[in-house]
Structure 1
């Protein structure tokens, strides 16, 4: 192994090429967390430099300390966190770790801004989108409400939200995951910050919008001289959009270099492992003559949206799912792909009766379920499970990991006693790639990727026949994505599981699915075997999705 001092020194490999001082110079960042049963060293002796107008990327597996490093810069760590006394973060020559709480608040959202990984944990569910963006502007700018509203609308247009006027009056739950992430980006850019920290900013976005958003950030960067810290697990994005890369593992920087040099000649074994972790392979062949486990016939879901002012609102119908048919067989993985807002998640949730349909028929294991009440659906819930897109929103923050996973076993009366249930919980965690000694810890103590694995463990502990997977790998780094794909394949082979796999990541869809359906504006525009649809798309829309997914680094 190369000497760490040469591949991960305290100063950048290209520091001699810069005549100006860095806008952020961080040295010896170390962060510990006090947890039940001891201390966790989340970040150990991390140093980096960021110059005006450039993008540095911090990459690594989930739990490597990327987000903790970013939150240390912003002053957003929990009370359990302890930052070492030797740590120093200079912003424009001043150590922000010495700032008072008031000074840090003044800096946050104005000169330094952050886009978070999970929009639902950052957007207030009881306020409209418009009022939240207006607040972000008026906290730091002396402008009238009317001016702030005008700026809010401009920002939504900038981040390409469809029908931006209507969105201003909507609440976070009325938007898709990708649309909520775009609102977060709009809020972060509201005051034209000097430094933008983007923590997995395109995790919830489909591939076409991902490129648009990253290009938007890059354009603003050029226009405003803004510096960007990009935290991501998507190496294709890193290669195209960053100037310099820091690779982290277990809280330490393993290697750093200019993007071109690092991709051309990775020197640390871990960096080489990351670069070789693209999703590969394909779904195992299905057994012959498998019967249908889930069927939807002419399923329709619509919403009434408000337009206009408070006193004269105009209502219009949005058809999210437009009379769609679907048949999923046992042992099969069926992918549903499309841009955010295309109706993928709504269709999936309607099929498992989480939301009501306007019309249509739904059958689970040949049994009609479209007229069943919530109470009548309960006996079927252990047979059909769901892994949601945003694990932070779906995991109860007041419950420990052990309680979260055991809850389904208790409700469905599975397991003779607590010891047997505990054994099942530990087995599910191991299957999902998590250690089983985390039962007393809480969701906020984990990274986004780790939380998603906990959500998968909660689903598989009940040994269901069918799982709805709504963007289950979007929060995971590449190497863990590969583990989860292998895990899902193994569970399918061992237990005959069926998956409805909703995703915007076509690389994962190609590796996991047997068939794929492409959705746009609530309709299915194309469907067929996954290889056929992705290699020979018949519609311009599918062709655009495929090009954005597989040629983003071109």
Structure 2
């Protein structure tokens, strides 16, 4: 409880080096939400200052109140939210919380802009990209449509989108994740704002694209003199891009300081824990002469795509996995890394016979499986399991935790009685770090990290020998990531598991894997021991991935 009573100063510790008035000066910001059984205090008395031309980072785990604080500045809270009467948010000396609805709307998107975490949910899918940027310009400026279109083209050029003229006439779904995020930045910069709020702008992006987006924001900031509020849980990004850091937990600012001072000497136990939770350590040594459990030779996966019109279609082959070889030993963790679209997940699913291969041989524990029928594969399914990236979409929301884990036992005929199956379910939950008394609860009642533990429990309940882990930590906070890594390491030691670990997070790969294979465009471009490949990458592509992951400078 001592943590709750640490008094954090409302003024910045470097205020003597910051002459002039802050562009944003927030004091005692407190926000509560009405829920079915009362109220939830999401933000409790937060104060912070932002000066022109600098980047302030607000960091903390999910549920810490970072995004609610940002939305309070923007005036984007739901009707169920209540902002405390004592709160004030001064923009250039004027309290925006006292603005009328009309004044707030004219400020939002003009002087203060925001980039959201998921651009696909922020861009309107039925309007072309150009129309949406034009709308953002004309909502605040009285300009002719032709001039607004010229400005939209200029903005797309500023954010370095390739072939900007054609992008104006495309729809959001026709762009990649990185291109959509660039469009969001273009819209946010449409009216040259004083303040840009970037709320987890790179969480869903590959490391190389993340580096490009962050470097782009910094370049535009320096050119336009903007102040930036960066909301993130990625400490590498914070260290590289911010000038000052506020650390939030449970709606409270636990600590704040200049970036250099905070990383050098964190004062609060929570900050120390957060900094210590970056993926660390390395895989335990592999037993000598460990036999091969999974092997693929010349594995090829391709898809036939149709181009052209209805009456004159052209068919062409897209090769997703190009004649690849792989071997995985018992007790080994093999990392499969690369950018989105490199073929990692397709390769992994082909090895488990979840999708069909065009050619090649796949063996599990010395037994060829590439020509087995679905019924012939069934006895092997308990021995080969998979944990997906998003546990919420892979756990049936209508089934209880007991039913979700028990279903695999029933299907595979494991456990002769209901009581025996219940014991196996409870044992799997405890092994995955979850209490055994949650069998009647449902997936929506758990956090992201807890749901991922349940997904792991479902896999290990069948006592497999091999688990395919497809981006199992990418959507999780750093401290939860560290817990899942420790859990996977412990389960591997206790049960002798072998993992194929698919990821684009090289920090996690370094902490968990023995070997790594780097994929690009369906090919393996480099492979070897983790320590060797990540410290001395040979190919230019791997060098770029490593730079982006550990230095955020691609």
Corresponding residue number in structure 2 for 1:141? 137
Alpha carbons 2:114, 2:188 under 8 Å: kept: no
Corresponding residue number in structure 2 for 1:457? 454
- The whole-number CA distance in structure 2 between the counterparts of 1:427 and 1:109 is 50
| Unaligned 5+ runs, structure 2 | 139-143
Q: Is it true that 1:158 corresponds to 2:159 in the alignment?
A: yes
Q: Is it true that 1:409 corresponds to 2:410 in the alignment?
A: no
Alpha carbons 2:129, 2:167 under 8 Å: kept: no
Alpha carbons 1:89, 1:96 under 8 Å: kept: yes
Q: Is it true that 1:41 corresponds to 2:41 in the alignment?
A: yes
- The whole-number CA distance in structure 1 between the counterparts of 2:474 and 2:553 is 18
Q: 1:530 to 1:472 in 2, by over 3 A?
A: same
- The whole-number CA distance in structure 2 between the counterparts of 1:340 and 1:283 is 25
- The whole-number CA distance in structure 1 between the counterparts of 2:419 and 2:117 is 35
Alpha carbons 1:31, 1:81 under 8 Å: kept: yes
Corresponding residue number in structure 2 for 1:211? 211
Q: 1:166 to 1:319 in 2, by over 3 A?
A: farther
- The whole-number CA distance in structure 1 between the counterparts of 2:298 and 2:30 is 56
Corresponding residue number in structure 1 for 2:197? 197
Corresponding residue number in structure 1 for 2:497? 497
User: Pairwise mapping of residues 270-419 of structure 1 onto structure 2 (< 5 A)?
Assistant: 270-302=270-302, 318-365=318-365, 370=370, 383-390=383-390, 399=397, 403=400, 406-410=403-407, 413=410
Q: 1:24 to 1:164 in 2, by over 3 A?
A: same
- The whole-number CA distance in structure 2 between the counterparts of 1:244 and 1:407 is 45
For residue 256 of structure 1, report the CA deviation from its aligned partner. Answer: 0.8
State the secondary structure of the residue aligned to 1:190.
Answer: helix
Q: 1:246 to 1:490 in 2, by over 3 A?
A: same
For residue 144 of structure 1, report the CA deviation from its aligned partner. Answer: 5.2
Q: 1:108 to 1:132 in 2, by over 3 A?
A: farther
State the secondary structure of the residue aligned to 2:129.
Answer: helix
- The whole-number CA distance in structure 2 between the counterparts of 1:377 and 1:209 is 39
Corresponding residue number in structure 2 for 1:511? 511
- The whole-number CA distance in structure 2 between the counterparts of 1:358 and 1:167 is 38
Corresponding residue number in structure 1 for 2:141? none
User: Pairwise mapping of residues 22-101 of structure 1 onto structure 2 (< 5 A)?
Assistant: 22-34=22-34, 39-77=39-77, 81-93=81-93, 95-97=95-97
Alpha carbons 1:55, 1:229 under 8 Å: kept: yes
Bigger Cα displacement from structure 2, 220-229 vs 297-306 = 297-306
Alpha carbons 1:120, 1:393 under 8 Å: kept: no
- The whole-number CA distance in structure 2 between the counterparts of 1:156 and 1:301 is 37
Corresponding residue number in structure 1 for 2:480? 480
- The whole-number CA distance in structure 1 between the counterparts of 2:80 and 2:401 is 22
Q: Is it true that 1:428 corresponds to 2:429 in the alignment?
A: yes
State the secondary structure of the residue aligned to 1:284.
Answer: coil
- The whole-number CA distance in structure 1 between the counterparts of 2:282 and 2:435 is 24
For residue 147 of structure 1, report the CA deviation from its aligned partner. Answer: 7.0
User: How does the TM-score come out when normalised to structure 1?
Assistant: 0.79
Q: 1:171 to 1:158 in 2, by over 3 A?
A: closer
For residue 547 of structure 1, report the CA deviation from its aligned partner. Answer: 3.6
Deviations 1:268-307 (A, max 9, x none): 2322333333322211223345444433333334456788
How many correspondences in the alignment?
Answer: 539
Corresponding residue number in structure 2 for 1:187? 184
State the secondary structure of the residue aligned to 2:537.
Answer: coil
Alpha carbons 2:342, 2:519 under 8 Å: kept: yes
Alpha carbons 2:349, 2:355 under 8 Å: kept: yes
For residue 137 of structure 1, report the CA deviation from its aligned partner. Answer: 1.4
Corresponding residue number in structure 2 for 1:538? 538
CA-based RMSD of the aligned residues comes to 4.6
For residue 158 of structure 1, report the CA deviation from its aligned partner. Answer: 3.2
Deviations 1:229-249 (A, max 9, x none): 112222222122101100112
Q: 1:81 to 1:288 in 2, by over 3 A?
A: farther
- The whole-number CA distance in structure 2 between the counterparts of 1:436 and 1:79 is 36
Alpha carbons 2:128, 2:169 under 8 Å: kept: no
Alpha carbons 1:306, 1:316 under 8 Å: kept: yes
Alpha carbons 2:303, 2:320 under 8 Å: kept: yes
Alpha carbons 2:492, 2:498 under 8 Å: kept: yes
Alpha carbons 1:405, 1:458 under 8 Å: kept: no
Deviations 1:166-196 (A, max 9, x none): 9975774x87xxx425513422432404433
- The whole-number CA distance in structure 2 between the counterparts of 1:24 and 1:412 is 57
- The whole-number CA distance in structure 2 between the counterparts of 1:431 and 1:523 is 34
- The whole-number CA distance in structure 2 between the counterparts of 1:364 and 1:164 is 51
Corresponding residue number in structure 2 for 1:230? 230
Q: 1:365 to 1:144 in 2, by over 3 A?
A: farther
State the secondary structure of the residue aligned to 1:141.
Answer: helix
Alpha carbons 1:432, 1:484 under 8 Å: kept: no
- The whole-number CA distance in structure 2 between the counterparts of 1:340 and 1:358 is 22
| Unaligned 5+ runs, structure 1 | none
Q: 1:105 to 1:354 in 2, by over 3 A?
A: farther
Alpha carbons 1:425, 1:461 under 8 Å: kept: no
For residue 362 of structure 1, report the CA deviation from its aligned partner. Answer: 3.9
Q: 1:356 to 1:273 in 2, by over 3 A?
A: same
- The whole-number CA distance in structure 1 between the counterparts of 2:356 and 2:443 is 32
For residue 56 of structure 1, report the CA deviation from its aligned partner. Answer: 0.6
State the secondary structure of the residue aligned to 2:469.
Answer: strand
Q: 1:21 to 1:157 in 2, by over 3 A?
A: closer
Q: 1:377 to 1:78 in 2, by over 3 A?
A: farther
For residue 405 of structure 1, report the CA deviation from its aligned partner. Answer: 7.5
